[in-house]
Amino acid sequence: MLFGTRSEKLQREVEQAEAQLKQREQESDRYSGREDDPQVPRQLRQSRHRRPLPAHLPREIHRLEPEESCCPECGSELDYLGEVSAEQLELVSSALKVIRTVRVKKACTKCDCIVEAPAPSRPIERGIAGSGLLARVLTGQYCEHLPLYRQSEIFARQGAELSRALLSNWVDACCQLMTPLNDALYRYVMNTRKVHTDDIPVKVLAPGQKKGKNRTHLDVCPG
């Protein structure tokens, strides 16, 4: 038992140290993937363990063979005993590539007839962006909240100079392509007796404003 000002100060230091230690343990568990649900009573919790990595992810197997081809103790031949495996989660970064479409022309040897393969359709007429790249830009803009100027910087680090204006034109063209889908959603929402709306305030960049931001509203109409 502790008494006095000095002992109380020591007690507070001990409590602070214990709190810091507990916080570091929780951070370690979070980064290592161990489970520790605080809602479950401690006596009913399972022992801490790592969650298995998702089974649907593709696996790349690196098989490591021992350097020794024979027993290092007696020199006898080694037989297969078993395996020890461990999994590690890795990220395969997206990469840009150029798809060059070559259309072959052929001419008749007896007349002047010339034939060639038809050009494949593109999401944007005469555009250089493929459907996968356009989907990446839209996902970054509206799902991951990546402004177009940041996406332009990301593509530049990957070796492709795509200006913010060009990306903006792509987004506008994709919106035009999705007009039939937008019209179908509008008819679905309006084909009810009552339409509910949700007014959501949103802060957007406004270079002309004093604070650089402007407060707007997004009206969502659930069906």
- If residue 171 lies in a helix (H) or strand (E), which one and from where to where? helix 164-177
Please tell me the predicted confidence (pLDDT) of residue 112: 84
Q: What confidence score (pLDDT) does residue 128 get? A: 94
Binned average pLDDT, 10 residues per bin, the chain of 223 residues: 58 79 72 56 58 90 88 86 89 88 91 90 92 95 92 94 96 96 90 83 71 73 69
What's the pLDDT at 103? Answer: 92
Specify the pLDDT at position 2: 47
**What is the pLDDT at residue 37?**
55
Nearest one of 120, 92, 90, 116 to 105, comparing CA atoms: 116
CA distances from residue 172 to 26, 101, 108, 165 in whole angstroms, order as listed = 45, 25, 44, 11
Q: Give the integer Cα–Cα distance in Å for 23 and 20.
A: 5
Q: Where are the domains of the chain?
A: 127-177
What pLDDT sits at residue 34? 56
Contact 169/210 with Cβ under 8 angstroms?
Answer: no
Q: How far is CA 144 from the centre of its chain?
A: 8
pLDDT at 32: 59
